[in-house]
Each structure stands twice: as C-alpha cells, then as structure tokens.
Amino acid sequence: MRESLACYMAGAYRASVVLTFIALFDDIIEKLGELGKVNKKAKVIFEAASQKRIDQDVFETYLIDQLKSNMLFSTLDAEFLEILRKLRNKAAHPSGHHASAEEARFVYHQAVSRFLSRPILSTTQLADEILASLSNANLFPSINIDIITKVVKKELENIHYETYPYLILKILDKTQETDNGTARNSRFFLAGMARAGDLEAASALKKYVIEKKISNTAYKMAIFSLLCSNGKLFSDLDEVTYHRFSVLVTEQIKNVEPTIEHTSHFHPAALFVSLLEQNPFDFVIEKLGTQFDAFLERFAYSAYFCSHISESGPVKPLLLKKYYERAGSNDYQTANSFMKNISDIEKTLAEVFSPEEAFKLIMNITHAANRGAFSAIDIRNASFGTIQKFKKLATQYLDENTDKAKIIASDLLYVSAEHLDQYLIHLQEDNPQPITPP
C-alpha cells in the first residue's frame, strides 16, 4: 500500500490501482487463514485459494464467490470487491482504458476502509462462534464485573464494530432462554460490553437494547444490568425512553426483594450509584427525581449506596435530611428503626460527616429519646458509646462552637437555654445522672 501511494503521488495511477488490488487480496487470504483456525468453511476456502495462487491460477473471482456464498462476506462487501476487481482489470489489461486519479483514490480508499482496516473477514461468523459459547458453563469464571469485562474484551478482539447490532440482538434473544446458564451468560456478556466503554458498542447497546426494548418488561433486567455497568449509557436517550425507564425504576424500587444484594445489577442501589457516578446529579434528578426520593425512602441505609457518597457531593445533604428526620422522629417505630441501623451508618459514613452534622444527628437522637423511643433512650443513656466516631465529632463541635451548638440543640430539643446542659452532658461525660425533664 505504501508503494501504491508512491505511484499515485508520481501520477502512475494504473500502477497504484494494480498494487492496491494485490495488497487487498493478500490481506484477505491472510485473514482467511486466521479465520480458518476456528472455522471449517474458511479453512477449505483458504487452502483452495492458496493452492490456486501457488499454481499462478486466477483465484480472485473464485475467492469472492466463495466468501459470498458461505456468508463470510456480506453481499455488499462482495459487490464492492467485484467493482474493485473490474477496475483493476481495466487498469492492468491493454484495453485502451487509462486509470484516472479519481479511480486510483476510490480503489485505495475502499480497500482501506472496507477491508484492510477490519481485523477479520466475517461480519457474522465470529459472532456466531460467540453465540454458541454462551451455553458454556465456564465462559465467565467469575461474577466480578471486571473479570466479566476482560472476558468480553477477549471475545470481541477480532469482531468488527459493524457486527455489533447483529451480535447484540442475538445475545439479547438468548437472555430470554429457559436455560438459566445461557440466559445468565448472555446478560453478563451485554454487561461486559457496556462496561468495556467502546463507543461503537455503547451506541449499539443504547439503540438496540435500551431504546428498542424498553417497552418490553421481559428485558427489564438486561436494561438494568447495562446501566449498572455503565451509567454513561443513560445520556442522550429520547424522552419517551426516559419516561418508560422511570416506570421500570419505580416498580423495581417497590418490588425488589430485601434479600437481593445491593451490589447486584438488579438492585436500585447499584443503578443509582452507576447513574450518579457517570452523569451530572441535576440531570439524573431531572429524569428520575421522584424515583430517587422513593429510593432514599426505602434504602436510605444501603451500605453500598452510602459508601459511594462523597463528602462534598450533592447526594449527601439529601441523605442527611432523611437521617435527621428519622433519628428525631416522633413516631417510635421510625426512630427505633433508625437506631437499629445507626452503627452501620457510622461505619459507612462517619468519614464524610462534619462535626456539625454529627452534632445535629446526635441531638435528633436525643430528641427521640426525650419522646420515649426506647432504642434512642438506650443509646443516649449509654452516652452514645455505641457510636464513638459520631460522638467524637459532635463533642468536637460542641467544644469549638459552643454558642452555635447550644442554639442548634435548643431548636431541636425544644428546651430553653437554662435546661440545656443536662441534655448535652451525655456528650461530655460517661454515665451521667439520669435526665430530669424540666
């Protein structure tokens, strides 16, 4: 091809066409040999074409016909090969035709863009090999998404991006098979394609899975899995798709089994972690604001979700508001339920709490204790010893910002300044005297 370009630059257009054609068919035979290692049809054609070339027989027409009839080339590609062959014949034979610069550029461009740039010949053959492997029990040796993605990348090494629509639609069909292993592997494969981050694959997944199948609830889990693997797929969808997806999310938040791990690609926690990490917060809330509120209402204590909350992120204030409301709730059941989760909340979020936020949380717990919530009373009477990190932060705030802390405490506890010290003493001493209500 370098020699062909040199001929073109020198004005030798006939030579450029002929050299491009030679390079093109050398490339096709080389790739056919590679494909023949895993495909019997390709192996037979490769051996026959190679023998013809050794014998110096004309083999190009035979090769084009065989590649087309055995579906190793698309009809369109075969037609382009035939066009290039005719242009080569006109240029190479004493027909009186003089190749032009335009012809030479056309042949050169088509050879590169349609054939030489492709890693393998077939648009479907290798995809079919992948489809056949989806029933293999050991296709994915781990359910870890990073391992799944590595497997998928290896399987797609020789697949041209034009094959993606065909491959994706076929795999999507297999997600509905009754064989659980095949269906699972199919969902894993699509998730791995999404996670790999290839732009052509992402575009095809959005078009052929998310937008095309969003109205069919049978594909809900496949769509959830894609968006949990790569939250970027949530961007640039059409408005109808967003509305339909919001319905699916609402149903999933309401109906997901409590035994499902929050890291699972079927869980709303994994979904919102992925969406919020890969998209602007305001955009996600614009599309799924109602659903996010419902998610926080049911899964505010999700350790997986909370572990992804950043210290300065926009989700944190919403979560704190929910915690304050529940910790200081006048409803005993709500307050006691929060106290059962407070230790896990501390383990997950203590590092992102400020001293002031920890102080407000403990004052809300104190308020619930004053109202008679038994679990809150137990935590308060133990001088908040079960949540030492929160206590340390809250005490720091009280020591360094005493006046502001007393104003906050007075507002939350509905206690006047002269009666406030006996409520704050649980932060300052261990085992203080019981509180005497004013």
Contact between 382 and 429 under an 8 Å Cβ cutoff? The reply is no
Q: Classify residue 19: in a domain, yes or no.
A: yes
Contact between 352 and 311 under an 8 Å Cβ cutoff? The reply is yes
* pLDDT of the residue at 351: 93
Q: Check pLDDT > 80 for residue 428.
A: no
For tokens 């040796």, name the residue.
141
Q: Classify residue 271: in a domain, yes or no.
A: no
Q: Check pLDDT > 70 for residue 437.
A: no
* pLDDT of the residue at 120: 61
Q: Check pLDDT > 70 for residue 431.
A: no
Write the pLDDT tens digit of every residue in 38-83: 677 888 999 999 999 898 888 888 888 888 888 777 778 888 888 9
Tell me the torsion sign for CA atoms 308, 310, 311, 315.
negative
Task: Report the percent of the chain where pLDDT is more than 90.
Answer: 69
Q: Classify residue 351: in a domain, yes or no.
A: yes
Domain count across the chain: 2
Structural domain of 21: 2-121
* pLDDT of the residue at 123: 53
Write the pLDDT tens digit of every residue in 229-240: 999 999 999 999
Average pLDDT over residues 151-155: 94
Q: Classify residue 110: in a domain, yes or no.
A: yes
Whole-number Å distance between alpha carbons of 309 and 352: 8
The 3-state secondary structure of the chain, one letter per residue: CHHHHHHHHCCCHHHHHHHHHHHHHHHHHHHHHHHCCCCHHHHHHHHHHHHHHHCCCCCHHHHHHHHHHCCCCCHHHHHHHHHHHHHHHHHHCCCCCCCCHHHHHHHHHHHHHHHHCCCCCCCCHHHHHHHHHCCCCCCCCCCCHHHHHHHHHHHCCCCCHHHHHHHHHHHHHHCCCCCHHHHHHHHHHHHHHHHHCCHHHHHHHHHHHHHHHCCCHHHHHHHHHHHHHCHHHHCCCCHHHHHHHHHHHHHHHHHCCCCCCCCCCCCHHHHHHHHHHHCCHHHHHHHHHHHHHHHHHHHCCCHHHHCCCCCCCCHHHHHHHHHHHHHCCCCHHHHHHHHHHHHHHHHHHHHHCCHHHHHHHHHHHHHHHHHCCHHHHHHHHCCCHHHHHHHHHHHHHHHHCHHHHHHHHHHHHCCCHHHCHHHHHHHHCCCCCCCCCC
* pLDDT of the residue at 435: 53
Q: Check pLDDT > 60 for residue 136.
A: yes
Q: Classify residue 358: in a domain, yes or no.
A: yes
* pLDDT of the residue at 38: 60
Q: Classify residue 170: in a domain, yes or no.
A: no
Q: Classify residue 104: in a domain, yes or no.
A: yes
Q: Classify residue 148: in a domain, yes or no.
A: no
Domain final position from 70, 95, 121 = 121
Write the pLDDT tens digit of every residue in 238-264: 999 999 999 999 999 999 999 999 999
Domain final position from 97, 121, 145 = 121
Whole-number Å distance between alpha carbons of 29 and 46: 6
Most confident of 41-45, 119-123, 340-344: 340-344
Domain final position from 121, 155, 185 = 121
Write the pLDDT tens digit of every residue in 267-312: 999 999 999 999 999 999 999 999 999 999 999 999 999 999 888 7
